[in-house]
Amino acid sequence: MNKKLAILQLARHRQPALLILGQTVSNFGDGVALVALTLLVLDTTHSVSKLAWFAAARITPTVIFLLVGGVIVDRYSRRLLLLISDVSRAVLTAGLVVLIGVGDLHFWELMVFGVLFGTFDSVFGPSITAITPELVPEDLLQAMNAVRPLSNNVAGNMIGPAVGGIIAAASTTWAIGVDCATFLFSAACLFSMHPTPSPARDFAKSIFEEAKEGIAYVRKTRWIWTTLLAVAASNAFVLNAGFVLIPFFLRDDLHTGKLIVGYAFAMAGISGSLGALIGTNLRTPKRRIRVMWTYWTISCLSALIIGVATNYWEVFLFPLIVSPTALLGNVIWESMLQSEVPRSILGRVSSVDFFVSFGLGPIGLVLAGWLSGLMGIRTYFVVFGSLCALPGLWILLSRRINEIDAGRVSGSPAGEPLPGRDLPDANPSSSSWGI
């Protein structure tokens, strides 16, 4: 198949086309809400620490329920779970609109909103990862894994924040209301899709036994667990922290306006969109681990730019670099999971992925707010950008971790057998799953 026609090939498939359409509109609403909520908390509290606590409130329940969420994803229809998640978040967002509209919103209510929102987020990521190979053939996996973030970056990180800054400057209520409406649109797209079957499973096993299977698979698979541990630190102390510290840095250190904050988020969307567009046409590299970690190491080191930034356009260089490099690495990572992990356990492995990758997120956000107050935001990014790049450099040089790609490079079977390949496939017609 001509790789240049990958996006057109996906458009001809009804199921992925509906999923992408719904997510694109929903991501636009998320981008609007991201700017609105950030400015709402800052204007209300004038505190980077409280903004960090609010961000942590959204991530914490997601992390706590992820492992259970992965078991649920491997038990029930992934489409149904996505539908429930969208409808629930629409209801929560509508409640927040009412509180803002009546002028009776308090910080503790924002914290409750964040916790409940994060709870329904806990099944969304694993469901998206697990449903993808059910919707598209394997030769379109990388294209699908790039098109999804392409739509997210264009709508959610570029257009959404730019529009969100304008709407929020006029009315925070309208900005959050837009997010609510887009969740409902996404739910309508999911409802229009053909039902997807529940995965085959052993009904005699408990939730905890099934969760342990996912954890055991990750522990026995070297390229997965080493990557997850290395990613956890950079996500917590550099990438996630950037969403909190950069808006504060722009407003309080560089004294920029609200629109500049929106444009900073939009810059990540612009560069991420270009990276995703490139990713749809790239072939999967033979040395997947090394190429992936080259992208991610560059992403982490780009935080050093903040250490010398004195103007907002210099700050924009950070999202300009970090967004496409992080995304290109993620495309390779998701495609590896979907190709190498049996479908019957993919939801649980994906939930472990999210759990470990973002598990330090709440702690990292709170510590970032505290430490940046002690050492300054510039020094914080220099110190943690350098420290968090070290694990990636180690993986790049590790021969044992890169054994998974040995067969792809030499043309012979890979040197490291994948544990769990003897697990039954959830789809009997796909006996070749987990190459």
Give per-residue pLDDT as tens, 98-107.
888 777 777 8
The pLDDT of residue 296 is 94
Q: CB-based burial of residue 208 (10 Å sphere; 0-12 exposed, 13-18 middle, 19+ buried)? A: exposed
d(CA 33, CA 28): 9
Q: Of 34, 1, 290, which is closest to residue 160 (Cα–Cα)?
A: 34
State the amino acid at position 323 in one-letter form. Answer: S
The pLDDT of residue 3 is 44
pLDDT at position 336 over 80: yes
Q: Rg of the chain's alpha carbons, rounded to an integer?
A: 21
Distances in whole angstroms, Cα of residue 31 to Cα of each of 237, 266, 277 = 22, 9, 19
pLDDT at position 31 over 90: no
Contact 280, 147 (CB under 8 A): yes
pLDDT at position 402 over 80: yes
Query: Percentage of residues in the chain with pLDDT exceeding 70?
Result: 89
Q: What are phi and psi of 203, to 5 degrees?
A: -70, -15
pLDDT at position 432 over 50: no
d(CA 128, CA 307): 36
| Span of 158-167, 240-249, 375-384, 426-435 with lowest mean pLDDT | 426-435
Average pLDDT over residues 273-286: 77
Q: 125-138: b or e for each residue (b if 16 or more CB lie within 10 Å)?
A: bbbbbbbbbbbbee
364 pLDDT band, cuts 50/70/90, is: confident
What is the DSSP-derived secondary structure letter of residue 117?
Answer: H
Ranked by mean pLDDT, which of 13-22, 219-228, 346-355 comes out on top? 219-228
The verdict on pTM exceeding 0.95 is no
d(CA 345, CA 347): 6
Torsion of CA 287, 124, 9, 292, to 10 degrees: -10
- DSSP letter for each residue of 236-249: IIIIHHHHHHHHHI
The pLDDT of residue 418 is 37
420 pLDDT band, cuts 50/70/90, is: very low
Average pLDDT in the chain = 80
Give per-residue pLDDT as tens, 254-277.
878 767 877 777 777 778 777 777
Identify the residue whose tokens are 């259970």.
68
pLDDT at position 414 over 50: no
SS3 state at 411: coil
- Other beta carbons within 10 Å of 102: 9
Sign (positive/negative) of CA torsion 94, 100, 101, 102? Answer: positive
pLDDT at position 415 over 60: no
Which helix (H) or strand (E) covers residue 296, if one does? helix 288-301
d(CA 65, CA 211): 11
pLDDT at position 65 over 80: no
Average pLDDT over residues 144-173: 79
SS3 state at 106: coil
Contacts of 118 (CB under 8 A, 6+ apart): 57, 58, 59, 60, 61, 62
What domains sit in the chain, N to C, each tagged with a CATH number?
Answer: 15-192+213-410 (1.20.1250.20)
